[in-house]
Structure 1
Amino acid sequence: MNVVTPLPSQDDIKDIIARHSQLEGPLLPILHDIQSQFGHVPQMAVQVLADALNIGRAEVHGVISFYHDFRDAPAGRHVVKICRAEACQSVGANALADHALNKLGGEWHMTTPNGNITVEPVYCLGLCACGPAVMVDGQLEGRVDNERIDEILTECGA
């Protein structure tokens, strides 16, 4: 289960930056640290990072938007990641994803209105021989079918 923490202040972000300032190319480690501590990278952090690292806001935003694991809003209490790689697609991952998204009434990266579940695509979980694969709160599960994804979503509070 994800832990929801209060929104960071600019001072919180500056403290994280200071911890990584000795690194060459510290942007990714800083972003990972922010997300680890706060569950997402808040919009206000973009300008603080740009100023501290002497780079443009567009560069910071580009890195955040390029990497799928960074999010700009807090995730739900449970994160369900569905593999979208070719091996899982070949054994029904697309239909599984469609089923899960339809059940939740949303789309990728959405969080259910009750805040319980965020569903995200992931491009390989390393269970290629056991697809379709999902990850629920960091726990891998293979050979997931519609019945099992329904159980998972119910267990997570859908």
Structure 2
Amino acid sequence: MPQTLPPPTDAEIDAIIVPLKDLEGPLLPMLHALQAAFGHISSAAIARLSHLLNMTKAEVHGVVSFYHDFRERPAGRHVVKICRAESCQAVGGDVLAAETLARLGLDWHGTTADGRLTVEPVYCLGMCACGPAALVDDTVVGRLDATRLEQILTEARA
């Protein structure tokens, strides 16, 4: 079972967001800083942002949920983002993605029970000539096939 970290405290959240409050349009820089520090945007962080910026929680949540790079839950130790753009789908990426999710028993944005792997969609990695493509942690991988993706997933779960 994965070790779960305690949620960030209000003081920890404030230490990150308060110095950014005087920026013009501070919400996105605050969200990026929180994501970098904690790996996700917690409900406590949404509440603190809401209070500090005089926005509703729904407005802050709307921004968090709009941008694909923000997470509301911690991700697994490794993140595999499979390209969902048309050019990758045209060369088998859609089938590869569906088979991967089925094999892992996950939906998009799901994390394996052991906490080692999260699978997310991404909408273009700029590897259109080398599709299907994926981003494995910070490494772009092109010309994926089922065998190569299985090897990546096995290594990530080891």
State the TM-score, normalizing by the size of structure 1.
0.94
Q: 2:104 is matched by which residue type in structure 1?
A: L
Contact 1:5/1:37, CA 8 A, preserved across alignment: no
Aligned partner of residue 112 in structure 2, secondary structure: coil
**Counterpart check, 1:12 vs 2:12:** yes
- What residue in structure 2 maps to residue 128 of structure 1? 128
Contact 2:111/2:118, CA 8 A, preserved across alignment: yes
- Structural mapping, 1:16-35, within 5 Å: 16-35=16-35
Contact 1:6/1:38, CA 8 A, preserved across alignment: no
CA shift, 1:6, in A, is 5.0
Aligned mates of 2:136, 2:5 — CA distance in 1: 20
Aligned mates of 1:154, 1:102 — CA distance in 2: 15
- What residue in structure 2 maps to residue 44 of structure 1? 44
Aligned partner of residue 156 in structure 1, secondary structure: helix
Deviation string 1:10-52 (CA, Å, 9 cap, x unpaired) is 1111111122112111101100110111010011111110110
Aligned mates of 1:5, 1:24 — CA distance in 2: 32
Q: How many residues are treated as equivalent by the alignment? A: 155
- What residue in structure 1 maps to residue 72 of structure 2? 72
Instruction: Give RMSD over aligned pairs.
Output: 1.3
Identify unmatched segments of 5+ residues in structure 2: none
Aligned mates of 1:48, 1:37 — CA distance in 2: 15
Deviation string 1:51-72 (CA, Å, 9 cap, x unpaired) is 1001111110000111111111
- Structural mapping, 1:50-61, within 5 Å: 50-61=50-61
Q: 1:7 is matched by which residue type in structure 2?
A: P
Q: 1:77 is matched by which residue type in structure 2?
A: R
Aligned partner of residue 157 in structure 2, secondary structure: coil
Contact 2:8/2:44, CA 8 A, preserved across alignment: no
CA shift, 1:106, in A, is 1.2
Overall identity of the aligned pairs, in %: 57
CA shift, 1:76, in A, is 0.3
Aligned mates of 1:32, 1:75 — CA distance in 2: 15
Aligned mates of 1:17, 1:68 — CA distance in 2: 21
State the TM-score, normalizing by the size of structure 2.
0.94
